[in-house]
Amino acid sequence: MKIGIVCYPTFGGSGVVATELGLELSKRGHEIHFITYSQPVRLELLSSNVHFHEVHVPEYPLFHYQPYELALSSKLVDMVQLCGIELLHVHYAIPHAYAAYMAQQMLLEKGILVPIVTTLHGTDITLVGSHPFYKPAVTFSINKSDAVTSVSESLKKDTMRLFDIKKDIYVVPNFIDLDKHLNNFTDCQRAMMARDDEFIITHISNMREVKQIPDVIKIFYNIQKELPAKLMMVGEGPEKEIAENLVEELGISDKVIFFGNSNEIDRILCFSDLFLLPSQTESFGLAALEAMASGVPVISTNTGGLPEVNIDGYSGYLSDVNAVADMSASAIKILKDADTLKTFKANAKAQSKKFDIHNIVPQYEAIYEETLDKFLVSN
Ligand code: GMT
């Protein structure tokens, strides 16, 4: 099938999922067209059946805000016609589902039929989409999509609770390419980061408020009081400076390394002992899954879809949001006993196998087939 994928090309989880999905679909024989404002960060290799079409938004001084939705919907119309795209899969409702619907209607006028599959990722529903400024447009675009998927049961429930949704939502969990995680890096270069007796604790995110970055630092502060440890902070975002100041204030600057955004997540995870994700909400927690696939147990909160990914007392521990003392105690419990740590590492890896890319991508393929068939019959 010829599939157009629309996503945010940045380091966010939704863009990563969309990119990995496109690459796997291309390996399974589909022709994939990424349509977005810059080349997705994990899209290193373009091949004969992976294409990238850049959306340009010309700057015009009259516009206080440049009309990206308009440029995107026009680009979708052009690319569907030029490349014969048969289905559009848009990741993140805002504004992608909205722009795709406009494109679909423009194409219909020309007698071209292209169905839309929308995948809801989390903040497009829980934090941004449900804001009264966006809600009518988000509700409309979800209801107008030909199929809607959500990355967890929890996000599906949130969507049904927050919006007036008139259609069924398929739950297709996020996934991981285990071959990539298992085959890479026999040489972990752990020694570059910490002494042999030090534990390596890692946090990876876009460092927004929802990630509760100060809690990451506070949990680590408690851990390092009990056990020798280093903290790897990976990612960029508005809360990074707050974290840097807190680290300074707590006098632990020599134990915390800030990496910025990285394309070498698996390299960092391969020498990590524990992953911290104390988010205020998380529809899935792809970063936690990536950690688990590298055999890194996870200390997380119990909100949103996290309990569907991280199993309490097995692949890590879950606590209430902001329960810093509880999360610190759980972290120390795992780290302080070598056998316990070994067991949790093995469990984390085993748990990640439930989300193997080879089991999940066929679920999307089945949805594409069904949606295309239904759409062609009803139009
Ligand atoms: O985590 C973020 O803030 C980025 C955001 C995104 O859209 O890229 O992540 C959301 O989608 C990811 C992929 O489906 C999920 O793993 C994250 O849990 C979700 N983030 C939130 O719900 C806060």
Q: The domain spanning residue 294 has which CATH number?
A: 3.40.50.2000
End-to-end CA distance of the chain: 19
155 and 188 share a domain? no
pLDDT surpasses 60 at 184: no
For residue 205, the ligand 1 atom closest to its alpha carbon is: 1
C-alpha 224/C-alpha 217 separation (Å) is: 10
C-alpha 361/C-alpha 95 separation (Å) is: 24
Q: CA geometry: angle at 248 spanning 242 and 254, to 5°?
A: 125
CA dist 338 → 287, 341, 343 (Å): 24, 5, 9
Nearest-CA residue for ligand 1 atom 12 is 13
Instruction: Give residue-wise pLDDT tens across range 230-259.
Output: 999 999 999 999 999 999 999 999 999 999
- Kindly give the distance from the C-alpha atom of residue 40 to the centroid of ligand 1, in angstroms, as a whole number: 16
Q: Ligand 1 pocket: which of 171, 265, 284 to mutate (most atoms <8 Å of CB)?
A: 284
Q: Following DSSP, what letter does each residue of 92-106 receive, concatenated?
A: SHHHHHHHHHHHHHH
pLDDT surpasses 70 at 186: no
For residue 155, the ligand 1 atom closest to its alpha carbon is: 22
298 and 365 share a domain? no
- pLDDT, residue 185, reads 55
145 and 91 share a domain? yes
How confident is residue 187, by pLDDT bands cut at 50, 70 and 90? low
Q: Is 169 helix (H, G, I), strand (E, B) or coil?
A: strand
User: Where would I find the beta strands (DSSP E) of the chain?
Assistant: 2-6, 31-36, 50-54, 87-91, 116-120, 147-150, 169-171, 199-204, 229-234, 256-260, 274-277, 298-301, 316-319
Q: Pairing relation of β-strands 87-91 and 50-54?
A: unpaired
Q: Ligand 1 pocket: which of 14, 126, 280 to mutate (most atoms <8 Å of CB)?
A: 14
Instruction: Give residue-wise pLDDT tens across range 116-151.
Output: 999 999 988 888 877 889 999 999 999 999 999 999
Q: What is the DSSP letter of 178?
A: H
215 and 277 share a domain? yes
Q: Ligand 1 pocket: which of 149, 159, 282 to mutate (most atoms <8 Å of CB)?
A: 282
167 and 276 share a domain? no
- pLDDT, residue 37, reads 94
* Interval 367-373 mean pLDDT: 98
134 and 243 share a domain? no
- Kindly give the distance from the C-alpha atom of residue 106 to the centroid of ligand 1, in angstroms, as a whole number: 31
C-alpha 295/C-alpha 230 separation (Å) is: 18
C-alpha 1/C-alpha 156 separation (Å) is: 27
Structural contact between residues 285 and 210, judged by C-beta atoms closer than 8 angstroms = no
pLDDT surpasses 70 at 67: yes
Structural contact between residues 243 and 213, judged by C-beta atoms closer than 8 angstroms = yes
CA dist 356 → 66, 177, 273, 279, 351 (Å): 39, 6, 22, 24, 10
Structural contact between residues 53 and 34, judged by C-beta atoms closer than 8 angstroms = yes
Name the domain count of the chain: 2
Pocket of ligand 1 (CB under 6 A): 12-15, 17, 92, 121-123, 126, 151, 174, 206, 208, 210, 281-286
Instruction: Give residue-wise pLDDT tens across range 200-210.
Output: 999 999 999 99
Q: Comparing 25-34, 178-187, 233-242, which segment has the lowest mean pLDDT?
A: 178-187
- Kindly give the distance from the C-alpha atom of residue 283 to the centroid of ligand 1, in angstroms, as a whole number: 6
215 and 158 share a domain? no
For residue 304, the ligand 1 atom closest to its alpha carbon is: 22
285 and 351 share a domain? yes
Structural contact between residues 80 and 33, judged by C-beta atoms closer than 8 angstroms = no
Tokens of residue 66, six digits? 């440049």
- Kindly give the distance from the C-alpha atom of residue 191 to the centroid of ligand 1, in angstroms, as a whole number: 32
HEC-encoded secondary structure of 20-86: HHHHHHHHCCCEEEEEECCCCCCCCCCECCEEEEECCCCCCCCCCCCCHHHHHHHHHHHHHHHHCCC
159 and 289 share a domain? no
189 and 161 share a domain? no
Q: Residue 287's domain spans which residues? A: 178-355
pLDDT surpasses 70 at 366: yes
C-alpha 3/C-alpha 26 separation (Å) is: 10
121 and 17 share a domain? yes
Look at the pTM and tell me if it is higher than 0.75: yes
How confident is residue 227, by pLDDT bands cut at 50, 70 and 90? very high
Tokens of residue 245, six digits? 């100041």
